[in-house]
Protein backbone atom coordinates (compact mmCIF):
# COMPACT_ATOMS: atom_id res chain seq x y z
CA UNK A 1 0.00 0.00 0.00
CA UNK A 2 1.18 3.49 -0.84
CA UNK A 3 0.84 6.28 1.70
CA UNK A 4 -1.69 8.19 -0.43
CA UNK A 5 -3.86 5.16 -1.27
CA UNK A 6 -7.50 5.49 -0.30
CA UNK A 7 -8.22 2.97 2.48
CA UNK A 8 -11.72 2.22 3.75
CA UNK A 9 -11.97 0.85 7.29
CA UNK A 10 -15.47 -0.56 7.79
CA UNK A 11 -16.33 -0.61 11.49
CA UNK A 12 -13.82 2.08 12.52
CA UNK A 13 -15.66 2.74 15.78
CA UNK A 14 -15.34 -0.86 16.93
CA UNK A 15 -12.53 -2.45 18.92
CA UNK A 16 -10.60 -3.81 15.92
CA UNK A 17 -11.54 -1.14 13.41
CA UNK A 18 -10.42 1.61 15.74
CA UNK A 19 -7.09 -0.15 16.27
CA UNK A 20 -6.59 -0.54 12.52
CA UNK A 21 -7.16 3.20 12.07
CA UNK A 22 -4.57 3.94 14.79
CA UNK A 23 -2.08 1.57 13.16
CA UNK A 24 -2.54 2.99 9.67
CA UNK A 25 -2.12 6.56 10.90
CA UNK A 26 1.02 5.62 12.83
CA UNK A 27 2.46 4.25 9.58
CA UNK A 28 1.73 7.48 7.71
CA UNK A 29 -1.45 6.49 5.86
CA UNK A 30 -3.60 9.60 5.88
CA UNK A 31 -6.18 9.01 3.15
CA UNK A 32 -8.59 7.00 5.27
CA UNK A 33 -12.29 6.53 4.55
CA UNK A 34 -14.54 6.13 7.57
CA UNK A 35 -18.31 6.12 7.91
CA UNK A 36 -20.41 5.55 10.99
CA UNK A 37 -23.37 3.19 10.78
CA UNK A 38 -25.64 6.25 10.83
CA UNK A 39 -23.82 7.65 7.81
CA UNK A 40 -23.63 4.36 5.91
CA UNK A 41 -25.81 1.35 6.72
CA UNK A 42 -23.77 -1.58 5.43
CA UNK A 43 -26.92 -3.73 5.47
CA UNK A 44 -28.38 -1.61 2.67
CA UNK A 45 -27.16 -2.81 -0.72
CA UNK A 46 -27.94 0.39 -2.62
CA UNK A 47 -26.22 2.58 -0.03
CA UNK A 48 -23.08 0.41 -0.10
CA UNK A 49 -22.99 0.32 -3.90
CA UNK A 50 -23.39 4.10 -4.10
CA UNK A 51 -20.61 4.60 -1.53
CA UNK A 52 -18.12 2.40 -3.38
CA UNK A 53 -19.04 3.88 -6.75
CA UNK A 54 -18.48 7.40 -5.45
CA UNK A 55 -15.38 6.87 -3.30
CA UNK A 56 -13.53 4.10 -5.18
CA UNK A 57 -11.29 2.97 -2.30
CA UNK A 58 -8.06 1.15 -3.13
CA UNK A 59 -8.05 -1.11 -0.05
CA UNK A 60 -10.74 -2.28 2.37
CA UNK A 61 -10.56 -3.63 5.91
CA UNK A 62 -13.92 -5.26 6.67
CA UNK A 63 -14.00 -5.09 10.46
CA UNK A 64 -17.69 -4.22 10.77
CA UNK A 65 -19.92 -6.91 12.28
CA UNK A 66 -22.82 -7.46 14.63
CA UNK A 67 -21.29 -9.08 17.72
CA UNK A 68 -22.49 -10.05 21.18
CA UNK A 69 -22.30 -12.56 23.96
CA UNK A 70 -24.19 -15.78 24.59
CA UNK A 71 -27.37 -14.06 25.76
CA UNK A 72 -27.52 -11.75 22.75
CA UNK A 73 -26.88 -14.59 20.29
CA UNK A 74 -29.56 -16.71 21.92
CA UNK A 75 -32.10 -13.88 22.03
CA UNK A 76 -31.56 -12.44 18.55
CA UNK A 77 -30.38 -15.30 16.29
CA UNK A 78 -32.13 -13.89 13.22
CA UNK A 79 -30.50 -10.48 13.68
CA UNK A 80 -27.04 -12.01 13.98
CA UNK A 81 -27.22 -14.15 10.86
CA UNK A 82 -29.13 -11.59 8.76
CA UNK A 83 -27.14 -8.46 9.63
CA UNK A 84 -23.74 -10.11 9.26
CA UNK A 85 -24.64 -11.81 5.99
CA UNK A 86 -26.00 -8.56 4.57
CA UNK A 87 -22.91 -6.57 5.51
CA UNK A 88 -20.52 -9.17 4.10
CA UNK A 89 -22.36 -9.70 0.83
CA UNK A 90 -22.82 -5.99 0.21
CA UNK A 91 -19.26 -4.89 1.00
CA UNK A 92 -17.39 -7.77 -0.68
CA UNK A 93 -19.47 -7.59 -3.86
CA UNK A 94 -19.37 -3.80 -4.08
CA UNK A 95 -15.61 -3.79 -3.44
CA UNK A 96 -15.07 -6.23 -6.30
CA UNK A 97 -17.29 -4.26 -8.65
CA UNK A 98 -15.61 -0.96 -7.75
CA UNK A 99 -12.14 -2.29 -8.53
CA UNK A 100 -10.78 -2.44 -4.98
CA UNK A 101 -7.22 -3.78 -5.15
CA UNK A 102 -7.43 -5.86 -1.98
CA UNK A 103 -9.84 -6.60 0.85
CA UNK A 104 -9.11 -8.00 4.32
CA UNK A 105 -12.04 -9.83 5.95
CA UNK A 106 -12.10 -10.53 9.68
CA UNK A 107 -13.41 -13.88 10.86
CA UNK A 108 -13.20 -15.13 14.45
CA UNK A 109 -11.69 -18.09 16.29
CA UNK A 110 -15.12 -18.82 17.79
CA UNK A 111 -16.33 -20.14 14.42
CA UNK A 112 -14.04 -23.16 14.56
CA UNK A 113 -15.71 -26.47 15.51
CA UNK A 114 -16.66 -26.77 19.16
CA UNK A 115 -14.39 -29.79 19.64
CA UNK A 116 -11.56 -28.82 17.29
CA UNK A 117 -8.11 -30.24 18.15
CA UNK A 118 -5.81 -27.91 20.08
CA UNK A 119 -4.09 -25.79 19.01
CA UNK A 120 -6.56 -25.05 16.22
CA UNK A 121 -5.16 -25.07 12.69
CA UNK A 122 -6.75 -23.24 9.78
CA UNK A 123 -7.71 -26.53 8.13
CA UNK A 124 -9.90 -27.44 11.13
CA UNK A 125 -12.60 -25.03 9.92
CA UNK A 126 -15.81 -26.89 8.94
CA UNK A 127 -14.56 -30.25 10.24
CA UNK A 128 -17.09 -30.52 13.08
CA UNK A 129 -20.19 -29.08 14.70
CA UNK A 130 -20.26 -25.46 15.78
CA UNK A 131 -20.67 -24.11 19.28
CA UNK A 132 -24.50 -23.94 19.62
CA UNK A 133 -24.48 -20.67 21.56
CA UNK A 134 -23.09 -18.67 18.64
CA UNK A 135 -23.87 -20.77 15.56
CA UNK A 136 -25.86 -17.99 13.85
CA UNK A 137 -22.91 -15.62 14.02
CA UNK A 138 -20.51 -18.42 13.06
CA UNK A 139 -22.49 -19.47 9.98
CA UNK A 140 -22.52 -15.86 8.76
CA UNK A 141 -18.78 -15.43 9.32
CA UNK A 142 -17.99 -18.71 7.56
CA UNK A 143 -20.10 -17.53 4.64
CA UNK A 144 -18.02 -14.35 4.50
CA UNK A 145 -14.80 -16.35 4.36
CA UNK A 146 -16.18 -18.58 1.62
CA UNK A 147 -17.39 -15.56 -0.31
CA UNK A 148 -13.87 -14.11 -0.27
CA UNK A 149 -12.51 -17.41 -1.57
CA UNK A 150 -15.24 -17.74 -4.21
CA UNK A 151 -14.70 -14.21 -5.53
CA UNK A 152 -10.97 -14.90 -5.71
CA UNK A 153 -11.54 -18.11 -7.69
CA UNK A 154 -14.20 -16.79 -10.07
CA UNK A 155 -13.24 -13.15 -10.47
CA UNK A 156 -9.61 -13.00 -9.36
CA UNK A 157 -10.61 -10.60 -6.57
CA UNK A 158 -7.73 -10.22 -4.10
CA UNK A 159 -9.53 -10.91 -0.82
CA UNK A 160 -7.88 -12.43 2.26
CA UNK A 161 -9.46 -13.63 5.51
CA UNK A 162 -7.92 -13.58 8.99
CA UNK A 163 -9.01 -15.42 12.14
CA UNK A 164 -8.28 -13.50 15.36
CA UNK A 165 -8.17 -15.12 18.77
CA UNK A 166 -9.70 -13.51 21.91
CA UNK A 167 -9.02 -9.77 21.68
CA UNK A 168 -8.80 -7.06 24.33
CA UNK A 169 -7.52 -3.52 24.65
CA UNK A 170 -8.53 0.16 24.47
CA UNK A 171 -12.15 0.59 23.46
CA UNK A 172 -13.18 -2.85 24.72
CA UNK A 173 -16.69 -3.63 25.96
CA UNK A 174 -16.77 -3.43 29.76
CA UNK A 175 -20.55 -3.88 30.03
CA UNK A 176 -20.90 -6.82 32.39
CA UNK A 177 -23.99 -8.15 30.64
CA UNK A 178 -22.09 -8.72 27.40
CA UNK A 179 -18.34 -8.39 27.91
CA UNK A 180 -15.77 -11.16 27.62
CA UNK A 181 -13.73 -12.52 30.49
CA UNK A 182 -10.74 -10.16 30.46
CA UNK A 183 -12.57 -6.81 30.44
CA UNK A 184 -15.11 -8.27 32.89
CA UNK A 185 -12.31 -9.22 35.28
CA UNK A 186 -10.72 -5.78 34.99
CA UNK A 187 -13.95 -4.01 35.82
CA UNK A 188 -14.92 -6.35 38.63
CA UNK A 189 -11.52 -6.25 40.33
CA UNK A 190 -11.50 -2.47 40.04
CA UNK A 191 -14.97 -2.14 41.54
CA UNK A 192 -14.14 -4.62 44.29
CA UNK A 193 -11.03 -2.61 45.17
CA UNK A 194 -12.99 0.66 45.20
CA UNK A 195 -15.72 -0.82 47.39
CA UNK A 196 -13.33 -2.66 49.72
CA UNK A 197 -14.94 -6.00 48.90
CA UNK A 198 -13.16 -8.96 50.56
CA UNK A 199 -13.49 -11.29 47.57
CA UNK A 200 -14.22 -11.61 43.86
CA UNK A 201 -16.03 -14.75 42.71
CA UNK A 202 -15.07 -16.19 39.32
CA UNK A 203 -17.34 -18.71 37.63
CA UNK A 204 -15.90 -22.17 37.09
CA UNK A 205 -12.80 -23.88 38.36
CA UNK A 206 -10.24 -21.50 36.90
CA UNK A 207 -8.63 -24.32 34.90
CA UNK A 208 -9.80 -23.56 31.32
CA UNK A 209 -7.05 -22.15 29.13
CA UNK A 210 -7.51 -19.13 26.89
CA UNK A 211 -5.35 -17.13 24.49
CA UNK A 212 -5.45 -13.33 24.54
CA UNK A 213 -4.17 -10.93 21.88
CA UNK A 214 -3.96 -7.17 22.34
CA UNK A 215 -6.05 -5.42 19.71
CA UNK A 216 -3.13 -3.20 18.65
CA UNK A 217 -1.20 -6.36 17.80
CA UNK A 218 -4.22 -7.60 15.88
CA UNK A 219 -4.36 -4.38 13.89
CA UNK A 220 -0.64 -4.56 13.16
CA UNK A 221 -1.05 -8.13 11.90
CA UNK A 222 -3.96 -7.11 9.64
CA UNK A 223 -1.97 -4.30 8.03
CA UNK A 224 1.06 -6.59 7.70
CA UNK A 225 -1.00 -9.31 5.99
CA UNK A 226 -2.65 -6.76 3.73
CA UNK A 227 0.82 -5.87 2.48
CA UNK A 228 2.48 -9.28 2.25
CA UNK A 229 -0.10 -12.09 2.10
CA UNK A 230 -1.85 -13.09 -1.13
CA UNK A 231 -3.24 -16.56 -0.36
CA UNK A 232 -6.76 -17.96 -0.50
CA UNK A 233 -6.30 -19.84 2.78
CA UNK A 234 -7.38 -18.17 6.01
CA UNK A 235 -4.70 -17.06 8.47
CA UNK A 236 -4.94 -17.43 12.25
CA UNK A 237 -3.87 -14.36 14.21
CA UNK A 238 -2.87 -14.95 17.81
CA UNK A 239 0.09 -15.21 20.16
CA UNK A 240 0.39 -19.00 20.10
CA UNK A 241 0.34 -19.19 23.91
CA UNK A 242 -2.44 -19.43 26.47
CA UNK A 243 -3.02 -19.05 30.22
CA UNK A 244 -5.51 -20.53 32.66
CA UNK A 245 -8.40 -18.38 33.82
CA UNK A 246 -6.90 -18.57 37.33
CA UNK A 247 -3.58 -17.23 36.03
CA UNK A 248 -5.43 -14.46 34.19
CA UNK A 249 -7.43 -13.53 37.30
CA UNK A 250 -4.26 -13.38 39.39
CA UNK A 251 -2.56 -11.15 36.82
CA UNK A 252 -5.55 -8.81 36.56
CA UNK A 253 -5.77 -8.59 40.35
CA UNK A 254 -2.09 -7.70 40.51
CA UNK A 255 -2.39 -4.99 37.84
CA UNK A 256 -5.46 -3.47 39.50
CA UNK A 257 -3.91 -3.69 42.96
CA UNK A 258 -6.70 -5.78 44.46
CA UNK A 259 -5.59 -7.59 47.62
CA UNK A 260 -8.75 -9.54 48.49
CA UNK A 261 -9.50 -13.20 47.87
CA UNK A 262 -10.25 -14.75 44.50
CA UNK A 263 -12.87 -17.46 44.88
CA UNK A 264 -13.83 -19.96 42.17
CA UNK A 265 -17.41 -21.20 41.97
CA UNK A 266 -16.96 -24.74 40.62
CA UNK A 267 -20.74 -25.21 40.41
CA UNK A 268 -20.77 -22.86 37.42
CA UNK A 269 -19.75 -24.01 33.90
CA UNK A 270 -16.17 -23.80 32.70
CA UNK A 271 -16.94 -23.74 28.99
CA UNK A 272 -14.51 -25.22 26.48
CA UNK A 273 -11.40 -26.57 28.26
CA UNK A 274 -9.01 -24.90 25.84
CA UNK A 275 -9.05 -22.45 22.92
CA UNK A 276 -5.66 -21.87 21.33
CA UNK A 277 -4.75 -20.99 17.75
CA UNK A 278 -1.90 -22.50 15.77
CA UNK A 279 -0.08 -19.45 14.34
CA UNK A 280 2.49 -21.28 12.20
CA UNK A 281 1.11 -19.82 8.94
CA UNK A 282 1.20 -16.29 10.36
CA UNK A 283 4.75 -16.73 11.66
CA UNK A 284 5.86 -17.83 8.20
CA UNK A 285 4.95 -14.35 6.90
CA UNK A 286 7.40 -12.80 9.36
CA UNK A 287 4.97 -11.49 11.98
CA UNK A 288 4.62 -12.21 15.68
CA UNK A 289 2.82 -10.56 18.60
CA UNK A 290 4.80 -7.89 20.45
CA UNK A 291 2.60 -6.85 23.39
CA UNK A 292 2.93 -9.15 26.41
CA UNK A 293 -0.17 -10.00 28.44
CA UNK A 294 0.92 -8.12 31.58
CA UNK A 295 1.86 -5.05 29.53
CA UNK A 296 -1.40 -5.21 27.59
CA UNK A 297 -3.57 -5.57 30.69
CA UNK A 298 -1.76 -2.65 32.32
CA UNK A 299 -2.36 -0.34 29.36
CA UNK A 300 -5.98 -1.50 29.02
CA UNK A 301 -6.61 -0.80 32.71
CA UNK A 302 -5.13 2.67 32.28
CA UNK A 303 -7.53 3.27 29.39
CA UNK A 304 -10.42 1.99 31.49
CA UNK A 305 -9.55 4.33 34.37
CA UNK A 306 -9.34 7.30 32.04
CA UNK A 307 -12.58 6.62 30.15
CA UNK A 308 -14.84 4.50 32.35
CA UNK A 309 -13.35 4.11 35.83
CA UNK A 310 -15.40 6.87 37.38
CA UNK A 311 -18.77 5.36 36.55
CA UNK A 312 -20.94 3.89 39.27
CA UNK A 313 -20.46 0.27 40.20
CA UNK A 314 -22.87 -2.22 38.67
CA UNK A 315 -22.90 -4.15 41.95
CA UNK A 316 -22.03 -7.79 42.63
CA UNK A 317 -18.57 -9.25 42.23
CA UNK A 318 -19.21 -12.40 40.22
CA UNK A 319 -17.51 -12.79 36.85
CA UNK A 320 -17.74 -15.51 34.23
CA UNK A 321 -14.63 -17.58 33.63
CA UNK A 322 -15.36 -18.48 30.01
CA UNK A 323 -14.39 -16.50 26.95
- Average pLDDT per block of 10 residues along the chain, 323 residues long: 97 96 98 97 98 98 90 90 98 98 96 95 97 93 98 98 96 81 94 96 93 98 98 97 97 97 91 92 98 98 88 40 42
Do 177 and 313 belong together in one domain? yes
Q: CA nearest 262: which of 251, 250, 248?
A: 250
Is residue 296 a known part of a binding site?
no
Q: Is 320 annotated as a binding residue?
A: no
Q: What is the pLDDT of residue 128?
A: 96
Instruction: Give a yes or no: residue 281 inside a domain.
Output: no
Task: Residue 200: give the domain boundaries.
Answer: 171-210+242-274+293-319
Q: How far apart are CA 298 and CA 292, in angstroms?
A: 10
> How big is the CA angle at 169 (ends 228 and 253), to the nearest 5 degrees?
135
The packing angle between helices 77-97 and 135-155, to 10°, is 20
> What pLDDT shows up at residue 269?
81
Q: pTM of the predicted model, to two decimals?
A: 0.92
| Long-range contacts of residues 126-132, Cβ cutoff 8 Å, at least 24 apart | 131/272
Phi, psi angles (nearest 5°) of residue 179: -85, 160
Please, what sign has the CA dihedral across residues 43, 45, 46, 50? positive
User: Mind giving me the DSSP string for 167-180?
Assistant: EE-TT----TTT--
The CATH number covering residue 120 comes to 3.40.50.720
Same domain? For 14 and 150 the reply is yes
Q: Confirm whether residue 307 is marked as ligand binding.
A: no
* Residue 73 CB neighbour total at 10 angstroms: 22
Q: Are 12 and 125 contained in the same domain?
A: yes
**Cα–Cα distance measured from residue 288 to residue 97, given in angstroms and rounded to the nearest whole number:** 34
Does the annotation flag 24 for ligand binding?
A: no
User: Is 188 assigned a ligand-binding role in the annotation?
Assistant: yes
Distance between CA atoms of residues 61 and 63, nearest Å: 6
* Domain-embedded: residue 218: no
- Count of Cβ atoms closer than 10 Å to residue 290 Cβ: 12
Report the catalytic residues.
137
Amino acid sequence: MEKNDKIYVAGHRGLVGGAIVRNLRSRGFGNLLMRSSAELDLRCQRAVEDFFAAERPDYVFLAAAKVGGILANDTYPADFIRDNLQMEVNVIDAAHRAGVRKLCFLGSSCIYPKFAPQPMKEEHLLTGELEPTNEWYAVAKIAGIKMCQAYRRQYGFNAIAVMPTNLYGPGDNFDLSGSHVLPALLRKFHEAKQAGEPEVVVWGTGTPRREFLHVDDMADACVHLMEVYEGENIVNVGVGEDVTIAELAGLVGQVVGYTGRIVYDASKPDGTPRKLLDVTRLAATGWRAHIGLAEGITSTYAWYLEHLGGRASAGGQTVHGGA
